[in-house]
Structure 1
Amino acid sequence: MRTLRLAATLVFGLTVMVSVRGGLAATTTYEVGESSRVFKPGHARNWRGAKTQALVATIWYPANADGTLYEEPQVIGPPDMPLFLAGGAVLNAPIASSQVKFPVVMLSHGTGGSAMQLAWLGTVLARHGYIAVGVNHPGNNALEPYTAEGFVLWWERATDISDALDGLMTDSTFGPHVDEGRIGAAGFSIGGYTVLELAGARTDQERFLKACQTDPTLHKCVVPEMKNMGDPEQMLAKVRASSAESMARGGASYRDARVKAVFAIAPAVGQAFAPDGFREVTIPVAMVVGAADPIAPVATNAGRFLALMPDAHLTVLPDGVAHYTFLDTCTDVGRAKLGVFCGDAAGVDREKVHATVSAMAVKFFDKNLK
């Protein structure tokens, strides 16, 4: 049955890529508002050596579509030479008054990235009536210096999302508009791992480390974002010395009962999950990955997760879709400067892939949250 379902989702992925271009526009209800917040949890927490001891978040949300608001293109990088296109939004627009409360989707970026790298998804969710909240993970985001702890203490990312959700609910602007019974989460790469943890999955980092010791050249052991961080053993030694308390609870549950459904894009670190690591996952889970992904290959990551979660769903996008296809669309400057992060295979249209996956996410969350 699982083989049949996977085959069906492959076909579905192809179908959506052809049809979704007009479909999303036809169902547009809201203009997209964009704002930012700095959440400072009142309790002690692990900041992973980050310079900024706060959770910096980008929020996309439904804005009033009354003809007075005009979305403007958003970018990542210098305004005169941007590296990525980050969708369209109205900065600090008033939240839509057409309904009192909206469902929420918390977003977790990939290792070394940023919340804005999921703008392609956040803006579409907002257009379809969701408050989408992307969190910059401390020590592991592109807006400040990386730390070894930020790369090694993966499970702390789940605490970032839970604390940012706390902050959202008490925010004077957005809090009153949060439907507390309709909350989901979506993430890319190690962010896909993060949302699986929020769903109740547990990891065993030692399993992952043993796989890396067997073959240190594996893509999952040394990703491009870590190239200036030293080798994995050096990083691990530093983190064991600085963060023994966090290391000791790496296998704990980080289930957030407020999260009712998760959507994982190219989820990574598959070797860190033991066969029983998903036994506590009882909420709906959907995954999508590119067939040509060398960083989080289907067989050892999402495909393995599917085998351990019989009720989950997996879509594999064919025809050269790889890992970094799920980053924002690159500009010509970005393609010239950023190499692998912008280097899609011939014939891959990153914006079409984004349209496919964002349509899948909207459909998934509509079904499971609305």
Structure 2
Amino acid sequence: MEWLAGPLHEAGFRVVALDHHGNNFVDGYEPEGFLHVWERPRDVSFVLDVLAREQPLGPVGVAGFSLGGYTAAALAGVRVDPRLVWAVMTGAVPLPEIPEFPGALEALRKKYPLDESLRPALDSAGADFSDPRVRAVFQVAPGVGGLVTRESLETVQVPVGIRWGGADTVNPYEVDTRPYLDHIPTASGRSAGPDVRHEDFFLPEPAHSAVRARVGGEAAAFFEQHLA
């Protein structure tokens, strides 16, 4: 995430990047880290609590790529629909393949019984994880757009900037980005390029090497405008 953290740091922001449990290169992967996405905004609020004990935070912005894009939006009030989460878990709604963790859903089913005893835990997915300290959000190729509720999208009041790849097949525009862009009243955004793929934001040698630097600079400019 240096392409995003670097420009923010150079613009004078205090920048923190999170390793979410079960979804990072340090500790390895667990299926919950990819599928229990509603736990991620709680991680951010926890880190903000820790940082606030060290020194005053000032205005807070959250930027995120892919699942991080959902995480950022959840901190502004966006909620997932527990009914859709249950449908995904049971296979009623197909889950697109996760490149970093193929077979994540099968791995989750091996750990937990897929019966009504699981439903109360999944109901917490629809809780409000907004954090009043968050004043602006920047999403890059955001995920989970197909699982969030339109009602919650319409409640977002902080500025939201969005960028996406026109050739993204992991988080396609129509499924994952468009709900945020169309239904968050404060959202604005544009494509990072018609040929830009999801992978171009994280591969060591992406096909479009300049895209990350450009989007990172746009994120910094967005936060300079809205967190000044």
TM > 0.5: yes
Map 1:108-123; keep pairs closer than 5 Å: 118-123=1-6
- Specify whether residues 237 and 179 from structure 1 end up closer, same or farther in structure 2 by C-alpha distance, changes over 3 A only: closer
Q: Contact between 1:208 and 1:269, CA under 8 Å: does it hold in 2?
A: no
Structure having the higher helix fraction is 2
1:272-296 deviations in Å (ceiling 9; x for gaps) = 1122121321110111100000011
Name the structure 2 match of 1:358.
Answer: 216
- Is 1:164 the counterpart of 2:62? The answer is no
Paired residue type of 1:303: R
Name the structure 1 match of 2:28.
Answer: 145
Map 1:13-52; keep pairs closer than 5 Å: none
- Specify whether residues 230 and 159 from structure 1 end up closer, same or farther in structure 2 by C-alpha distance, changes over 3 A only: closer
Paired residue type of 1:166: D
Name the structure 2 match of 1:188.
Answer: 65
**1:211 shift after superposition:** 6.2
Map 1:1-370; keep pairs closer than 5 Å: 118-171=1-54, 175=55, 178-180=56-58, 182-208=59-85, 210=87, 213=91, 216=94, 221-227=96-102, 229=104, 231=106, 234=109, 237-238=112-113, 246-327=121-202, 330=204, 344=206, 348-350=207-209, 352-370=210-228
Paired residue type of 1:223: I
**1:232 shift after superposition:** 7.0
Name the structure 2 match of 1:337.
Answer: none
| Aligned partner of residue 315 in structure 1, secondary structure | strand
Which of 1 and 2 has greater Rg?
A: 1
| Aligned partner of residue 136 in structure 1, secondary structure | coil
Paired residue type of 2:193: P
Q: Contact between 1:303 and 1:314, CA under 8 Å: does it hold in 2?
A: no
Q: How many residue pairs end up in the alignment? A: 227
Paired residue type of 2:83: E
CA distance, structure 1, for counterparts of residue 111 and residue 159 of structure 2: 34
- Specify whether residues 314 and 235 from structure 1 end up closer, same or farther in structure 2 by C-alpha distance, changes over 3 A only: farther
**1:204 shift after superposition:** 0.8
CA distance, structure 2, for counterparts of residue 354 and residue 193 of structure 1: 19
**1:209 shift after superposition:** 5.2
Paired residue type of 1:138: H
Larger relative contact order, structure 1 or 2 (CA cutoff 8 Å, min sep 6):
2
Q: Contact between 2:153 and 2:183, CA under 8 Å: does it hold in 1?
A: yes
- Specify whether residues 321 and 294 from structure 1 end up closer, same or farther in structure 2 by C-alpha distance, changes over 3 A only: same
**1:356 shift after superposition:** 1.1
Paired residue type of 1:263: F
Q: Contact between 2:164 and 2:177, CA under 8 Å: does it hold in 1?
A: yes
- Specify whether residues 359 and 246 from structure 1 end up closer, same or farther in structure 2 by C-alpha distance, changes over 3 A only: same
User: Identity over aligned residues, as a percent?
Assistant: 31
Paired residue type of 2:36: L
- Specify whether residues 314 and 209 from structure 1 end up closer, same or farther in structure 2 by C-alpha distance, changes over 3 A only: farther
- Specify whether residues 279 and 239 from structure 1 end up closer, same or farther in structure 2 by C-alpha distance, changes over 3 A only: farther
Paired residue type of 2:60: I
Output the aligned Cα RMSD: 2.5
- 5+ residue gaps, structure 1, are 1-117, 331-341
CA distance, structure 1, for counterparts of residue 105 and residue 170 of structure 2: 19
CA distance, structure 2, for counterparts of residue 241 and residue 151 of structure 1: 21
Give TM-score scaled by structure 1 length: 0.56
